[in-house]
């Protein structure tokens, strides 16, 4: 079984952080350093088909949670606090409900256990317009994306995945073909009978529609000891849009 790539920061109690769809461990570097400075050994993990981790045609939450369990076994981590954003939150929920003995505390950032219809197609379509036989700089890639994705922040998030495959040849770190083909898997709900009784914190952005008031009963069904709190002045990328409040709320929960 292949091992996920990660960056490990600091010393202390283990904290694993899982990024969202089309993201990577680097998205969490600033917050990761904050947790590391405050007594945690932080593992910023690239999930399969993302970042520097392995590519595979197989892609679903059972496999991704098994990847994390294998990672923990490799690094001899018997139990960890686990944090995941969006897709990473679904992976974290899957691991906590299938292997509760591995998870001491769970933090889920702006995603609910429910099913989400596929909604990333415009972004996938835009990314497919990137022809790296022609594009030779970040600026040129941004120009192509800007015709289809008008939000500057979203483009910058996506362009963090650019890297030099070889001299004068750019590419994207995530496995676009597989992620395009597995779009239905991204929105999958967790199993209807899955539960995790451990301490759990759901953080939602006040400008995000990913967790609504109607989701509370579904969250409590699967995570009976869950707290649901709101990060102000933030959308779906709440950890990037209001990192100060995200850190304060998550750190308080981790140390409670």
Catalytic positions: 86, 236
Q: Which residues contact 235 (CB under 8 A, 6 or more apart)?
A: 205, 207, 208, 241
Residue 176 belongs to what H/E stretch?
Answer: helix 176-181
How remote is the C-alpha of 112 from its chain's centroid?
A: 13
State how beta strands 169-172 and 200-205 pair: unpaired
List the alpha helices (DSSP H) in 50-150: 61-74, 87-98, 121-127, 138-146
Phi-psi region of 111 (alpha: psi -120 to 50; beta: other; left: phi over 0): beta
Q: What is d(CA 46, CA 54) in angstroms, rounded to the nearest whole number?
A: 9
Q: What is d(CA 124, CA 146) in angstroms, rounded to the nearest whole number?
A: 13
Selection from 12, 19, 6 nearest residue 80 by Cα: 12
Cα dist from 17 to 8, 85, 88, 171, 253, whole Å: 10, 8, 8, 25, 15
């Amino acid at each position: 079984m292949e091992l996920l790539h990660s960056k490990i920061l600091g010393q202390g109690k283990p904290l694993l952080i899982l990024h969202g769809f089309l993201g990577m461990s680097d998205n969490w570097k600033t917050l990761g350093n904050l947790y590391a400075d405050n007594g945690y050994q932080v593992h910023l993990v690239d999930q399969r088909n993302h970042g520097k981790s392995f590519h595979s045609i197989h892609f679903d939450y059972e496999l991704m949670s098994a990847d994390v369990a294998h990672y923990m076994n490799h690094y001899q981590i018997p139990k960890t606090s686990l944090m995941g954003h969006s897709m990473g939150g679904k992976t974290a929920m899957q691991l906590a409900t299938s292997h509760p003995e591995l998870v001491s505390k769970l933090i889920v950032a702006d995603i609910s256990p429910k099913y989400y219809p596929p909604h990333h197609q415009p972004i996938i379509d835009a990314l497919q317009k990137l022809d790296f036989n022609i594009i030779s700089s970040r600026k040129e890639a941004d120009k192509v994306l800007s015709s289809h994705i008008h939000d500057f922040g979203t483009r910058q998030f996506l362009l963090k995945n650019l890297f030099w495959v070889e001299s004068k040849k750019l590419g994207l770190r995530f496995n676009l073909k597989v992620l395009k083909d597995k779009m239905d898997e991204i929105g999958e709900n967790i199993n209807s009978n899955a539960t995790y009784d451990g301490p759990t914190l759901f953080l939602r952005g006040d400008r995000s529609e990913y967790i609504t008031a109607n989701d509370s009963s579904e969250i409590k069904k699967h995570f009976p000891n869950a707290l649901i709190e709101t990060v102000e002045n933030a959308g779906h990328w709440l950890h990037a849009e209001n990192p100060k409040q995200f850190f304060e709320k998550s750190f308080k929960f981790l140390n409670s």
